[in-house]
Amino acid sequence: MAEKSVKIIDEDGQITISEEVVTSIARIAAEKVDGIARSGKTVSGLKSFFGGEDTASIIKSEFSDDGVHIELTIAVEYGYPVHEVAQGVQSNVQKDVEEMAGIDVIGVDVYVRKIIPIAIEKKQDIPPED
């Protein structure tokens, strides 16, 4: 199966950007948004309670002559407004893909598949009780 890519042709020659590059840019852009759940940030033992699924984003892209359409499936940390996190992901992904890859982004669809409790940090400053 041929790898999906986009070609940019100008007076200097041709540039080919693979789907993997677009996906990597989209993943990093999405992870910059406060409230998006990442792998390993769930409270110990609760991962199996929530179905044992990884919290990493799933990203798909579809290239056309007009640009790229990106679809992300994400998890959001509990306590963050879901719609604001999703809108932040849309904005960051579109901006970063267009700026870094030089590809027009036709649309960014975000599907929020679950809410994840944030990790509880162990406090090392508090001495143990006797």
pLDDT tens digits, 56-92: 679 999 998 899 999 999 999 999 999 999 999 999 9
Looking at residue 46, the DSSP 8-state letter turns out to be H
Q: What pTM was computed for the model?
A: 0.76
Separation between Cα atoms, residue 71 and residue 95, nearest integer Å: 15
Q: Which domain holds residue 101?
A: 18-116
pLDDT digit string (tens) for the chain, length 130 residues: 456 888 888 889 998 999 999 999 999 999 999 999 876 544 444 443 444 555 667 999 999 889 999 999 999 999 999 999 999 999 999 999 999 999 999 999 999 999 998 765 433 445 556 5
Q: Is position 22 within any domain?
A: yes
Residue with tokens 């407004």: 81
Q: Tell me what pLDDT residue 87 has.
A: 98
Asked whether residue 40 is assigned to any structural domain, the reply reads yes
Please check whether residue 96 lies inside any domain of the structure: yes
Q: What is the largest CA-CA distance in the chain?
A: 75
CATH number for the domain harbouring residue 74: 3.30.70.1350
**Residue 47: inside a domain:** yes
The DSSP bridge partners found for residue 70 are 61, 108
Total of domains in the chain: 1
Radius of gyration of the chain (CA): 18
In this predicted structure, what is the pLDDT of residue 46? 42
